[in-house]
Amino acid sequence: MAILYESGKKTFTLQTQNTTYQMKIAQYGYVVHTYYGPKAEDEDFSYLIRHYDRGFSPNPYEAGNDRTFSLDVLPQEFSSCGVGDFRISGIEVKNHDGSIAFCGTYAGHRIYPGKYGLEGMPSLRVREEDHVDTLELVLRDAVTGVEAVLLYGVFEEKDIITRTVRIENHGDQAVQLEKIMSAVLDFMDSDYDWISFNGRHAMERGMQRIPLSFGVQSFGSIRGTSSHQHNPFAVLCEKNACEDYGNCYGFSFMYSGDFFCGAQKDPFEQTRVVMGIHPEHFSWSVKPGEVFQAPEMVLAFSEHGFTGLTHLYHDIYRRNLCDSIYMEKRRPILLNSWEAAYFDFNYESLIEIAKASSEIGADLFVLDDGWFGERNSDDAALGDWQVNEKKLPGGLKRLSEEIKRLGMDFGLWVEPEMVSEDSRLYRQHPDWCLHMQGRPSARGRYQLVLDLSRKEVQDFVLDFMRNILDESDITYIKWDMNRSLCNIGSAAAKEQGEVAHRYMLGVYRILEELTKEYPQVLFEGCSGGGGRFDAAMLYYHPQIWCSDNTDAINRLKIQYGTSFGYPVSAMGAHVSVCPNHQTGRTVPLKTRGIVAMSGTFGYELDASRLDEEEKRQCREMTEDFRRFQELIFQGDYYRLTSPYENGAFTAWAFVAKDKKSCLANLVITDCEANDAQRYMRLRGLEKRQRYRIEGMEGSYSGQALMQAGIPVPCGMKEYDAAWYYLTAEEI
Ligand code: GLA
């Protein structure tokens, strides 16, 4: 059992291979958090908690005149609200009398093998090699009968702890849940840095590292999606932590809607981290006998710096998240028509592109936006999911059959969550979009959002998706979602504060059913690129289009930031034309290939316009990717330099789990004439193993390659790139 309750000490200790997490039932039934960090055996860490009379920190009534016991300073396992803890709270309950209070004390627990269930929402799955145990810890508010059941899933071998909370109303009055974080995590110190991943459309997940300082440093989304602007993943680390050194805590929220993540340094230099659904547009009625289930949060700790933490997330998200057959199977190399043709295509022009796509070795031809209804630009027809026969006579069936004849599979773009006002669907069902009574809705990319909090609207989406998938042989779907949610109201809802979360539950229901019914289909997520790049979407989609920005140099930063919390096999990355459509930059084709190869690899260009030499290079890149795909998708990922810090080049590597092979990549990001000799230092190799490097003479020890590195050829020009393939020399 990875979870031990010691009744004498009243401690709960959660053990994974390399970490220990502990809490304890303290005086008056309050549950305090005592430890999370490197593995420790047989220790009761509550000796760390000292009690002092802290001025202006109230004492619970039960503590009588003991002025040293205060919820305001104790490290707690979850927080109360309204009863004397002034730090950022994990919960806000509005009771039937209007009071805002919740004070949870220990009311029981259950420890059992296996993982708790989470109905209707994504969560980590248990695989046959896993030993997972669950702790359910009940905190009960004695006045109202409301319970917060804290759930912990301990993935012993994988050094991962999942947390979530279930609110149960055992009282006889309805309460309104105004805020519920999936986890609260208190630390007794505060000498940390706080790392988040922020950006904007076409420039997602830029890394920001700031010192934790007094007050709350928070980020989140109230856009109805996890968003381009802030990603639901954060790292708290020691000040001196770097790639291979230092204690790091990871917080990954498995949710695709509004979220909040905050870290607070309190007046006594302690830290609290909370993460959960953003409270801003949220309010949920919990009547007697009802429950509310919060989404899951995935916690990890590594004492080996960012790389250690990254490997924990990569490993668990590659193995325990998505059930698609494409997690094990080789993914197809696709060519997507968006940057090739935008809305400007017909049957003949697509076939031209498709023919050339097959010549460069693509496995899959994906028809992007513009194939349905009167969709000739982005201002119409979302919702009218019937093929436009004027553009594509014979429909998708004929097109897909022709693509098949060219030796490729056929894939399709959809944006099922949306409706254009200029559409038959909107004219038929104007109340099927999110809107607030009497208030005109803001448009985003001209479109409105379908009210997927309603079952009949979910069913409509399911039906047309089934029609599309049944009508022709489609092996890939790009599931897009191109606006932020606002005017979030539903004609069918009694409680408007519930609509945003019900919308997400509706999306999850649709994706759950479709992915189960069509296991042969590879679903790629998308939201204007990476606007919904989160662990919850990766539960359904093995890959997500990382960004609408295909500029290889910008991608270095985007993919770097994304790699901290998400595996490379999840990052949609394509080779596009130059000058790049987003930045106007020109970068060698080889460089574009190398950058796209640090993702799912594919093309986003009109292959029929490539000249013979470019086609040859593309064919070569396609072959290279096929050759290295397993190493790239299953190996350990190492960031060798940061695109934010190293002026001369950006480098990264994939090392096979058995350390017998490695693919190291570099891109020259800045160049000076007559430059200094620079070295790319590798990581993750076996010190004493000797490696051959393809295209280079001799062999080199892992030690030398890691300590001294590979000399970066001086003649490389700006934006040139190179890869080095290393294999262990047989002894
Ligand atoms: C979004 C996607 C693009 C493309 C367009 C189509 O912006 O991110 O890749 O599919 O929509 O309209």
- The number of CA neighbours under 13 Å toward the Cβ of 450 is 28
User: What's the rounded Cα separation, in Å, for the pair 194 and 192?
Assistant: 7
When pLDDT is averaged across residues 366-389 and rounded to a whole number, the result is 98
When pLDDT is averaged across residues 16-29 and rounded to a whole number, the result is 98
When pLDDT is averaged across residues 704-711 and rounded to a whole number, the result is 98
From the CA of 528, give the closest atom in ligand 1.
8
From the CA of 368, give the closest atom in ligand 1.
10
Among protein residues, the one with the nearest Cα to ligand 1's atom 6 is 369
What is the CB < 6 Å shell around ligand 1? 338, 368-369, 378, 413, 480, 482, 526, 528-529, 545, 548
pTM check: above 0.85 = yes
State the SS3 of 424-473. Answer: HHHHHCHHHECCECCECCCCECCEEEECCCCHHHHHHHHHHHHHHHHHCC
pLDDT tens profile 306-364: 999 999 999 999 999 999 999 999 999 999 999 999 999 999 999 999 999 999 999 99
Query: Helix (H, G, I), strand (E, B), or coil: what is residue 711?
Result: strand
Alpha helices in 520-652 (DSSP H): 552-563, 589-596, 612-634
Of the candidates 141, 159, 368, 534, the residue annotated as catalytic is 534
From the CA of 478, give the closest atom in ligand 1.
10
Ligand 1: centre distance to CA 480 (Å): 7
Name 693's bridge partners. 726
Among protein residues, the one with the nearest Cα to ligand 1's atom 2 is 528
pLDDT at 667 over 90: yes
Ligand 1: centre distance to CA 338 (Å): 7
User: What's the rounded Cα separation, in Å, for the pair 298 and 136?
Assistant: 16
User: What's the rounded Cα separation, in Å, for the pair 245 and 195?
Assistant: 16
Residue type, 698: G
Instruction: Go through the chain and tell me how many residues it has.
Output: 731
Among protein residues, the one with the nearest Cα to ligand 1's atom 4 is 338
Among protein residues, the one with the nearest Cα to ligand 1's atom 3 is 528
Of the candidates 303, 614, 675, 729, the residue annotated as catalytic is 614
When pLDDT is averaged across residues 297-304 and rounded to a whole number, the result is 98
Confidence of residue 503 (pLDDT cuts 50, 70, 90): very high
Ligand 1: centre distance to CA 101 (Å): 45
Confidence of residue 647 (pLDDT cuts 50, 70, 90): confident
User: What's the rounded Cα separation, in Å, for the pair 576 and 610?
Assistant: 11
Ligand 1: centre distance to CA 433 (Å): 21
Ligand 1: centre distance to CA 546 (Å): 11
Ligand 1: centre distance to CA 594 (Å): 23
What pLDDT shows up at residue 705? 98
- The number of CA neighbours under 13 Å toward the Cβ of 368 is 25
C-alpha separations of 145 from 89, 100, 214 in Å: 19, 14, 35
From the CA of 413, give the closest atom in ligand 1.
10
Confidence of residue 1 (pLDDT cuts 50, 70, 90): confident
User: What's the rounded Cα separation, in Å, for the pair 339 and 344?
Assistant: 10
When pLDDT is averaged across residues 114-120 and rounded to a whole number, the result is 96
When pLDDT is averaged across residues 435-450 and rounded to a whole number, the result is 97
Catalytic, 534? Answer yes
Q: Answer for the pair 712, 665: CB distance below 8 angstroms, yes or no.
A: no
When pLDDT is averaged across residues 78-107 and rounded to a whole number, the result is 98
Mutate to test the pocket of ligand 1, among 336, 339, 482, 549 (most ligand atoms within 8 A of CB): 482
Ligand 1: centre distance to CA 339 (Å): 9
Mutate to test the pocket of ligand 1, among 225, 371, 382, 413 (most ligand atoms within 8 A of CB): 413
Mutate to test the pocket of ligand 1, among 201, 335, 337, 338 (most ligand atoms within 8 A of CB): 338
pLDDT at 731 over 90: no
* Angle of helix 347-359 versus helix 395-405 axis, rounded to 10: 30
Mutate to test the pocket of ligand 1, among 337, 369, 445 (most ligand atoms within 8 A of CB): 369
pLDDT at 13 over 80: yes
Confidence of residue 241 (pLDDT cuts 50, 70, 90): very high
Ligand 1: centre distance to CA 47 (Å): 55
Query: Helix (H, G, I), strand (E, B), or coil: what is residue 581?
Result: coil
Query: Helix (H, G, I), strand (E, B), or coil: what is residue 614?
Result: helix
- The number of CA neighbours under 13 Å toward the Cβ of 128 is 0
Name 334's bridge partners. 364, 602
When pLDDT is averaged across residues 496-500 and rounded to a whole number, the result is 98
When pLDDT is averaged across residues 52-67 and rounded to a whole number, the result is 97
* Buried-state track 472-492, b at ≥16 Cβ within 10 A, e below 16: bebbbbbbbbbbbbbebbbee
When pLDDT is averaged across residues 231-241 and rounded to a whole number, the result is 99
From the CA of 527, give the closest atom in ligand 1.
8
From the CA of 548, give the closest atom in ligand 1.
8
Residue that wins the pLDDT comparison between 632 and 730: 632
Confidence of residue 725 (pLDDT cuts 50, 70, 90): very high
Give the containing element (helix H, strand E) for 501. helix 499-517
Cβ-based neighbour number of residue 658 at 10 Å: 9
Instruction: Kindly state the tokens that stand for 644.
Output: 């934010």
pLDDT at 445 over 90: yes
Instruction: Kindly state the tokens that stand for 408.
Output: 């490729």
Catalytic, 614? Answer yes
Give the CA dihedral 360, 366, 369, 370, nearest 10 degrees: 80
Instruction: Kindly state the tokens that stand for 304.
Output: 């080996």
Instruction: Kindly state the tokens that stand for 617.
Output: 């290079």
What pLDDT shows up at residue 319? 98
When pLDDT is averaged across residues 700-723 and rounded to a whole number, the result is 97
pLDDT at 121 over 80: yes
When pLDDT is averaged across residues 96-114 and rounded to a whole number, the result is 98
pLDDT at 698 over 80: yes
Mutate to test the pocket of ligand 1, among 415, 480, 541 (most ligand atoms within 8 A of CB): 480
Among protein residues, the one with the nearest Cα to ligand 1's atom 11 is 528
Among protein residues, the one with the nearest Cα to ligand 1's atom 7 is 528
User: What's the rounded Cα separation, in Å, for the pair 662 and 684?
Assistant: 9
pLDDT at 730 over 90: no
pLDDT tens profile 162-206: 999 999 999 999 999 999 999 999 999 999 999 999 999 999 999
C-alpha separations of 578 from 339, 340, 569, 604 in Å: 11, 12, 25, 11
Q: DSSP letters of 165-194?
A: EEEEE-SSS-EEEEEEEEEEEEES---EEE
Ligand 1: centre distance to CA 446 (Å): 14
